[in-house]
Each structure stands twice: as structure tokens, then as C-alpha cells.
Structure 1
Amino acid sequence: MHLSFDHCENVVAANLTVRAPKESPNTDGIHVTSTQNIKIQNCIVGTGDDCISIVSGSKNVQAFNIECGPGHGISIGSLGKDHAKANVSNVYVKHATLHNTTNGVRIKTWQGGLGYANNIKFEDVVMMNVTNPIIINQNYCDKEGPCQEQKNAVQVENVVYKNIRGTSASEVAMDFNCSKSIPCENIKLNSIHLIGQGVKDVKTLFVNANLTAVGDVLPPI
């Protein structure tokens, strides 16, 4: 990791530039863990992993005016590995541009984890040739084959996506893969406009997710 804020309070991380080759593994740009009241603003990040990663114990996180690419996008998680309890709340990402990234805005939790990720808002985000522009994966595992379904999961709820626009490099522009036993709750989509780049049509996939659409949402749910 390039920058890691661990067990910190009242942080301002501003006007930072982080660069690493897109082939460099595990090179998170700005990593936030067990930290409260942090503002990340006016930053340019391009790496081989997450531009910004927000993990357990983090609360009241703001990320404004972020340019991300290449990399894996802006991620909450992963959370709940090895059945651990993880808590993330009150995250606000606004005015971000992501270009040529693997993911756009992502929430990733491990199967069998505990805890919650809630009160999260992504607003005014531009996607430029992003493979997975909007994604929640509540059933993450790192095996090549299918993983055994588990009853426990990190609860994902109260998530807002507002004014997200741009292009998807894959057919699935929005993907909500949630737990059967603990579904994703109160996921709101407001003014979404994502079209394909290099693909003819794009779509939304959702499993065990309680979605609500407000205004024009493309692709539709």
C-alpha cells in the first residue's frame, strides 16, 4: 500500500498524487482502516489495485474530487474475511472520475462474514470505460470453483447511487450479488446513465437485493 491510515481520527488527506503501474499487484493507493472522520479530497490515484480502499472500523469517510485510473476503483472492503466481524458506516464519495478501471464503485464482502456496511452514498461519478461500474459482491470468495453457500454475511444496507454516468466496458454495468440469508437492503438508484463501450448492450443483474429506482435509470432494473 502507498498510504495507509490505521486507527486515526480527524484526518485530511488532500492534493495527493499516487502512481504505480497497472500490472503491480496489491498496490492500494489510499487505504483507510479503523479510522474515523477522514476527508480525502483533490487526489489523483492510479495503481494496480484499489485507488481507495475502505475497510473495517472506518466511519465518517468522505472522498471528494477523486481521479482514479488505472486500478480496481473505489472500494469498500473487502470485509469479513475468515468469518471476521467488520463494520463500515457513513461513507460519502462525491465528484469522482474513473477511467479504464476494473471496477468503479464497489462494495465487497466475504461469505460467512459478520457485521455491516451501511449509510453509503456515491454521487456525481463519471465512469470512462470501466469494466464493472457499479458492483456489490456480498458473496465473495477466492476459490476458482464455486464456494459453499454460507448463512452468515456482512449486512449491506442504505446505499445510494446518485448521478452516475458514463461507459461500461462489459455487458453488466450494474451487478448486485447479495446473500440469500441476509439480502442487501434499501439500495437506491437515482439518475443513472451507463452505456456500453465496445459492447452493444448493457444490463443490470441483481440477486437478493432490494432495489429502488428514482428518475431515469439506465440500464433499467
Structure 2
Amino acid sequence: MLQVKGTLVASPDRSSWNENNRRYWIVFRGVESLAVSGGGTIDGNGEVWWKNSCKINTALPCKGAPTALSFHTCNNLRVDGLKMLNSQQIHVSVEDCTGVQVAHLSITAPGTSPNTDGIHVTHSSNVQVRDCTIKTGDDCVSIEDGTHDLHITRLVCGPGHGISVGSLGDGNSRAEVSGIFVDTVQLYGTTNGARIKTWQGGSGYAKNIVFQNMVMNSVKNPIIIDQNYCDSAKPCKTQVLTEKMGSAVEVSNVVFKNIKGTTISKNAITLNCSKNFPCYDIALQDINLKMEGGSGGTGSTCQNAKWRKSGIVVPQPCTGS
């Protein structure tokens, strides 16, 4: 067991990191039955890194910055009751781990801080995240390749980019994500609410995903699937995909259930799917999303999506298709 009682503060000098270790600050690797708690604070002192990010200063080259707290190949892991502040980049990363419980974390960074994901999960299985409050400049929770059987419950998110599955399939890579269950989430002023994002040209799947019991407060994109995601300095060209050239990350069996609240954009539901590999088995159930301030009705857009609805769904699915 590791107890964090006081405050750990990262060096404000970027030269404390070299090219070999610039992606990590505090790392636990290959530890069995590790428990990290104590109620203390881990402060990444990230402002100097943010100023030198290519997303803030486009004249600078894009380089990675440290993740504040990383867990690699740790099984039967417990992380509870920590405060995370101003990470240089990602706050908490769980990678190649099995049997993980993350609870009662308070994660805070400015909404303008680049790439400061709250909790990042990749290549891990049997993971539970519960009772956390996350206010950052990027995804509150980012769920990436190799994540299976992840449960997220009782989360408060915002500012930030919401709860994101992806991005998946960048650089024509294969990605596999399944068994994602997101339940009881409140979002405040986030860019997205419940999101799945994949790059063109990838392969693999994102399937068996549930977003339910979510309350949106002034969220820009409350419900969004984007199979044409592009986060690149150069515009991404639309690819003509064939079996020989590759495919898309297949998105299927996704449920959006009991989602209500307000949006600041007209399109409260966006299903932007691949022409050659449409997303399918998309269920919309008991949804009520209204414009912030009651200024007009909400709408939705769909491309290449095979969906069904049940209960009352506002806005009507795919009115703009």
C-alpha cells in the first residue's frame, strides 16, 4: 500500500525531463495488488507544458508531455481518494492492467489546458471507475484500444470533452473495444457528452457499449458517433475504402438510454458513420435534450447509421438526414 498524505509537486523546469522519459512523471509498473490512497494531492505543475504545446502555439512542434500518474501492467489495482491537479498532460493512465478499481478522485485543470485527460484507460480489462469529479481541458475519461469490461458510475464531468470511446484506428491501426458501461453521469459545459470517435482507415471494432442515466448541462454535442474523426495538423482526406485497402473500425450494439438535459448546439444527436462500414444496432431510448435557455428546438443528423428508437426521443433521430 502507498499512502499519499501531503502534496507532491512536479518540477516547473521542463529540462528535468529528457527525450527518454518526457512522457511520464510518477510510474508504477508490474506491481500486484497495489493500493494507492491517503487523500493527498499530486500536482503536475503543468502550466509551463501547456504554454509549449503545439495546440496552444501552432508554431511549435508537437511533442508529448508527461502523464502525472501512470499504472502499467498492474493487476488487482486500487486507487482511491487522491486529488490530481494541473497535470502536464494526462492525469491518470491505466495501461495493460487487469482488475482495477479507481474511486473518489478529484481531478482538476483549466478548461483551456491541452490534452489533460482525466482518466485514460487502454489495453486493460475488468476496470471500475466510480464516484469521481473531473474538470479538465480534454476527455474526462478516454477509453482507447484494448479496453474491455469497463464500468464507469457516478461521475461528474466538466469542463472537458466528455466521456469518449476513442480515438480508435489512427494511422490505419487496428483497435478493439468492448463491454463499456457508463451509468449516472452529470456533465457541465463539456464539448461532448457521450462520444465514440474513430479514424478513417482503421480496423477492428467498438461494440457492446452503453451510455445511460446521463444529465447534460449546456453540452455542445450530447450524443455523438464520429467515424470520420480527424485530429491532425493537416486536413484528413476522405478515403475510399475497399477490402484490399483496409476498413473502418466497426461500431455496433451501442445504447444511449435515459439521457436528458440541455445543449448549446442545434444538433443534439449526431451519428456520423462510415459510408462503406455503417454503424449498426444503435439504440436511442428515453432521450430528452433541449436547447439551453429554451431558444428553439433541437435537431439531429445522421449519415450511414442503422438505428432504432424506443420510448420518447427528443429530438427525433435523424431529422436532418
What is the TM-score with the length of structure 2 in the denominator?
0.68
| Mapped partners of 1:170, 1:66: distance in 2 | 23
The reply to whether residue 194 of structure 1 matches residue 279 of structure 2 is no
Count of residue correspondences: 221
Residue in structure 2 matched with residue 150 of structure 1 by the alignment: 240
2:171 aligned counterpart, secondary structure: helix
Could you tell me the percent identity over the aligned residues?
48
When Rg is computed on C-alpha atoms for both structures, the one with the higher figure is 2
Find the aligned partners of 2:219 and 2:240 in 1 and give their Cα distance: 30
Contact preservation (8 Å) 1:63, 1:92: yes
- SS of equivalent residue, structure 2 residue 306: strand
Deviation, structure 1 residue 146: 6.1
Query: What are structure 1's unaligned runs of at least 5 residues?
Result: none
Q: Which has the higher contact order (CA 8 A, sep 6+)?
A: 1
RMSD over equivalenced CA pairs, Å: 1.1
Moved over 4 A (4+): 143-146
Distance 2:189 2:236 in 1: 28
Matches within 5 A, 1:1-221: 1-142=90-231, 145=235, 147-151=237-241, 152-198=247-293, 199-221=295-317
> How far apart, CA to CA, are the structure 1 residues paired with 2:230 and 2:137?
20
- The CA deviation at 1:147 is 2.0
Shift of 1:145: 4.6
- Structure 2 Cα separation of the partners of residues 40 and 145 of structure 1: 35
Q: CA deviation at 1:142?
A: 3.2
| Alpha-carbon displacement from aligned partner over 1:126-159 (angstroms, at most 9, x marks no partner) | 0000000000000112356562233221000000
Q: Which deviates more from structure 2 when the two are superposed, residues 140-149 or residues 101-110? A: 140-149
Q: Distance in 2 between matches of 1:20 and 1:82?
A: 29
**Structure 2 SS opposite 1:49:** coil
Counterpart residue number, 2:70 = none
- State how far apart, in whole Å, the 2-side matches of 1:220 and 1:208 are: 16
Kept in 2, the 8 Å contact 1:68–1:96? The answer is yes
Using the TM superposition, give the Cα deviation of residue 202 of structure 1 relative to its aligned residue in structure 2, in angstroms. Answer: 1.1
Report SS of the residue matched to 2:116: coil
Deviates more, 1:148-157 or 1:60-69: 148-157
Contact 1:141 / 1:147 at 8 angstroms: preserved in 2? no
Q: Write the letter of the residue equivalent to 2:304.
A: N
Q: Distance in 1 between matches of 2:203 and 2:141?
A: 22
TM-score normalised by structure 1 residue count:
0.98
Distance 2:157 2:182 in 1: 12
1:22 partner SS: coil
- More displaced stretch, 21-30 vs 198-207: 198-207
Counterpart CA distance in 2 for 1:63 and 1:40 is 5
Q: Distance in 2 between matches of 1:31 and 1:18?
A: 12
Kindly state the Cα deviation for residue 204 of structure 1 after the two structures are TM-superposed. 1.0
Q: Distance in 1 between matches of 2:277 and 2:94?
A: 30
SS at match of 2:127: strand
Per-residue deviation, residues 144-198 of structure 1 (Å, max 9, x unmatched): 6562233221000000011000001100100000001100010000100000015
What CA distance in whole angstroms lies between the structure 2 residues aligned with 1:94 and 1:53? 15
SS of aligned partner of 1:82: helix
